[in-house]
Homo-oligomer: A and B are copies of this chain.
Amino acid sequence: MKPMRAQGGVAARTANKLKRKQTILDTARGIIAGGGYSTFTLAELANLANVTVPTIHNLIGNKSEVLKQLVVDMVERTEQVLFADKFSDPITSVESFADNLMDLYRNDEAFYKAAFVVGEQESLFEHGHAAGIFKKSLKLAFNVCNEAKTHGFLNGDVDTQLLADRVFANQRIARYDWMHGYINLAEYRKQMICGMLLTFASDATNDYRPALLNKINQVFAEGE
């Protein structure tokens, strides 16, 4: 009869492998957070993670793959913020969204910043991806616009999709300026809130607009 062949420790190995992989990714995260995208090299990563470069290739893949992992991780965390609280009014929605985001980013600002830069450079935020963060965020914006219309805050003179596009766009440009180091986190919050609320103001009822503009001017003046 054919003897049983040794199998190697498959399950245990797999677990170890995952652990080592995680160590490498954590180290990568630290490098990116510390010195930004440009200082990140496989050689340094290997060094700090106490492995060699080919090991990184073996466990994770090429440089691009390593970066992709980090961005996916970042996006997953960010997406949790997207599940917004129940809608009451645009001002509350926008403000709580902004504050949730700030709470998240404040923890590890350098990393989030760098991860967004990497995601942009590696083209990981394509608008097309149905499952991507772009589509998800846009859908959230659409829902808020829709609710705002339903609850009588808006006249409905502007196409809901158009309004949602602009609300989201105003959030993105503020993030863009933050992630490129043009503005700090506080300024990001300011511009995001002002941009989104100003967009709502364009179609707000005459009753609701003053509250929006009031809030906008108040946020704009904060810390001046």
Binding site for B on A (CB under 8 A): 120-121, 123, 126-127, 157-159, 162-163, 165-166, 169-170, 172-174, 176-177, 180, 182-183, 191, 194-195, 198-199, 201-203, 206, 209-210, 212-213, 216-217, 220-221
Contact = CB atoms under 8 A, between A and B. Distances in A.
Nearest to A194: B162
B213 A182 contact: no
A67 to B, nearest CB: 15
Given A127-B182, A173-B172, A191-B169, A162 B217 contact: yes
Q: Is the interface of A mostly helix, strand, loop or mixed?
A: helix
Given A169-B195, A203-B213, 18 more contacts: A127-B183, A157-B210, A157-B213, A158-B198, A159-B217, A162-B194, A166-B170, A166-B198, A169-B173, A170-B170, A170-B173, A173-B173, A176-B176, A199-B199, A201-B202, A202-B202, A202-B209, A202-B213
Contacts of A194: 162, 165-166
Contact of A169 (B159, B165, B170): B170
| A-B pairs, 10 with minimum CB distance | A201-B202, A173-B173, A169-B173, A198-B202, A202-B202, A127-B182, A162-B220, A157-B213, A166-B198, A166-B195
A192 to B, nearest CB: 10
B182 A126 contact: yes
A222 to B, nearest CB: 12
A116 to B, nearest CB: 13
18 contacts: A120-B180, A121-B121, A123-B180, A157-B210, A157-B213, A157-B217, A158-B213, A159-B220, A165-B191, A169-B170, A169-B191, A170-B173, A173-B176, A198-B199, A199-B199, A199-B202, A201-B203, A203-B213
Contacts of A172: 173, 176
Contacts of A126: 182
